[in-house]
Amino acid sequence: MATTRDSILSAAGELLDQAGPDGVTLRAVAHIAGLSHNAPYKHFQDKEALLAAVAAKELRTRGAAMAAVLAKAADPLSALRRLMHDHVRWAMRYPHRFRLIFGRWDRYDDDLGEAAEATRRLFVESIAVARSNGLIEPGDNERTAALLMSLTHGAIDLALDGHLAADGKGRSNPCDLIDDLIDLLAPAISPARARRRSR
């Protein structure tokens, strides 16, 4: 059964995808859910709280998707690569969800923070596995996670606003850049790296 709260939440998600956070007006949300224009206030404190709930829901979905990708991967390094590529595909398809999720959570003692922490740990863990197998040069796992996450995040953000696909020669989409960084992180002797380099 779909509770009123759920139908409000899914209406908000729908509007978010179509028109971004500014397009998520409480009036439109209520209308889609078949309610009066201020019924949402009975379920969420205000617009910000509604968007935070949408973010929390999407974040949990992403965490499950990441776990599924990890489960299917052959080796730790390709698992890492698939994880990032999958993240890129999701972000390019749902740009407003991507930007919403990476906004500020400070004000919400919700499960939003812990859901994010869980997916982050999953990511750090998969780096730790690749490193302990000697597929990545020595270093701090948290630090390497921050490096790879920052690159992925920045490449996506730039690509979404059309600041990456500019040129013909050094054509660089987010997935290419992620591969570049993973190659840099892999030990110099790695045959996979040599193969990539020679292309």
* Sole binder of a second copy in the list 172, 190, 192, 193 (CB under 8 A): 172
23 touches a second copy by CB under 8 A: no
25 binds, among DNA, a second copy, none (CB under 5 to 8 A by kind): DNA
SS3 state at 147: helix
CA atoms within 13 A on the CB side of 91: 24
Smallest distance from the beta carbon of 27 to DNA, in angstroms?
5
106 binds, among a second copy, DNA, none (CB under 5 to 8 A by kind): a second copy
What residues line the site for DNA (CB under 7 A)? 4, 24-28, 30, 35-39, 41-43, 46-48
Q: Are the CB atoms for 116 and 59 separated by under 8 Å?
A: yes
Q: Are the CB atoms for 66 and 125 separated by under 8 Å?
A: no
174 touches a second copy by CB under 8 A: yes
Q: Is the dihedral of CA 59, 60, 65, 71 positive or negative?
A: positive
Q: Closest Cα partner for 118 from 64, 177, 46?
A: 64
Q: Which is nearer to a second copy, 126 or 152 (CB)?
A: 152
